[in-house]
């Protein structure tokens, strides 16, 4: 196993009185793709959002336990959430480009970090679009509205946007669930490329997708982490009955 990038220890999360995550402990390896699978409402998205503290935005969330990134607990008081989120990119289920041009979407992150040099911004934008494998499609449309792109292009634009702030980790919350098969294929190829440089954590509803693209898989059920291991092993020889029932389609 490679080096551990993200580790959680007894992470428990409540929405008000309702427990959404129950003592989740997991070690996510660096520069690999880790997939979270499980039925709707099992806590996999909630868990993903604890890793960049997006749950902070929701009132009445209580968290106990630890989330360590590079060995540092990100829920400690001295942690600057804004800086933390620069290190951890996020791609959402529904593509959410800003109502700005393609260029301004990608340049958004660098600009809020104080980069205003036009030449430098152009470099960053081009690199990010190349890395997200969308450069050829949009290079002549950089000044067009991002909302004019197709759904699949918008999602890859959002990936490019998160790459432009040079994160180390990319969290993806069902990034292809709203896309057609061809766009989904492109996103999957892209994820495969990106893991050379980034640690990727992806929530997916689609078990075939998890099996295709991930190196490690975590199966969640009712707020608990049931099983975690190498994807090939988890899908061929799961250790726990619940996992087997889920991946063979007996429930979920």
The footprint of other proteins (CB under 8 A) covers 52, 54, 57, 59, 82-83, 85-86, 88-90, 92, 94, 96-100, 108-109, 112-113, 147, 158, 161-162, 165
Alpha helix locations (H) across 80-229?
A: 81-87, 102-112, 118-131, 135-138, 151-163, 181-194, 207-213
In the complex, what is the shortest distance from the CB of residue 80 to other proteins, in angstroms, rounded to a whole number?
10
Q: Based on CB atoms, which residue is closest to other proteins, 83 or 143?
A: 83
In the complex, what is the shortest distance from the CB of residue 35 to other proteins, in angstroms, rounded to a whole number?
20
CB atoms closer than 10 angstroms to residue 106: 32
Nearest to 156 by CA among 123, 140, 181, 179: 179
CB burial of residue 126 (10 Å; 0-12, 13-18, 19+): middle
Q: In the block, which residue shows the tokens 């942690």?
A: 79
Nearest to 10 by CA among 81, 89, 73: 73
In the complex, what is the shortest distance from the CB of residue 85 to other proteins, in angstroms, rounded to a whole number?
5
Cβ-proximal residues to 220 (8 Å cutoff; 6+ apart), any chain:
36, 37, 38, 42, 43, 44, 47, 226
SS3 147: helix
Token pair of 31, please?
């520069």
In the complex, what is the shortest distance from the CB of residue 136 to other proteins, in angstroms, rounded to a whole number?
24
Q: Based on CB atoms, which residue is closest to other proteins, 164 or 247?
A: 164
Q: Based on CB atoms, which residue is closest to other proteins, 83 or 208?
A: 83
Q: Based on CB atoms, which residue is closest to other proteins, 191 or 225?
A: 191
Q: Based on CB atoms, which residue is closest to other proteins, 112 or 240?
A: 112
In the complex, what is the shortest distance from the CB of residue 92 to other proteins, in angstroms, rounded to a whole number?
6
The string over 162-198, giving b where at least 16 C-beta atoms fall within 10 Å of a residue's C-beta and e elsewhere, is: bbbbbbbbbbbbbbbeebeeebbebbbebbeebbeeb
Q: Based on CB atoms, which residue is closest to other proteins, 98 or 192?
A: 98
In the complex, what is the shortest distance from the CB of residue 137 to other proteins, in angstroms, rounded to a whole number?
20
């Amino acid at each position: 196993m490679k080096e551990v990038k993200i580790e959680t220890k007894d992470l428990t999360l409540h929405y008000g009185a309702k427990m959404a995550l129950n003592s989740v402990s997991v070690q996510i390896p660096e520069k690999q793709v880790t997939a979270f699978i499980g039925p709707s409402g099992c806590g996999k998205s909630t868990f993903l959002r604890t890793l960049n503290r997006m749950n902070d935005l929701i009132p009445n969330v209580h968290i106990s336990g630890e989330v360590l990134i590079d060995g540092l607990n990100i829920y400690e008081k001295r942690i600057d959430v804004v800086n933390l989120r620069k290190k951890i990119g996020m791609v959402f289920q529904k593509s959410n480009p800003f109502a700005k041009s393609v260029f301004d979407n990608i340049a958004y992150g660098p600009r809020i970090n104080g980069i205003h040099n036009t030449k430098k911004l152009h470099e960053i934008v081009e690199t990010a679009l190349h890395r997200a494998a969308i450069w050829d499609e949009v290079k002549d449309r950089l000044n067009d509205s991002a909302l004019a792109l197709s759904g699949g292009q918008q999602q890859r634009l959002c990936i490019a946007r998160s790459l432009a702030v040079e994160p180390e980790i990319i969290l993806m919350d069902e990034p292809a669930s709203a896309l057609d098969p061809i766009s989904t294929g492109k996103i999957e190829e892209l994820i495969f490329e990106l893991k050379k440089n980034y640690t990727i954590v992806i929530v997916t509803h689609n078990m075939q997708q998890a099996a295709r693209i991930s190196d490690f898989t975590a199966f969640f059920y009712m707020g608990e982490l049931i099983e975690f291991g190498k994807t090939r092993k988890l899908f061929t020889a799961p250790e726990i009955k619940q996992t087997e029932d889920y991946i063979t389609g007996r429930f979920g």
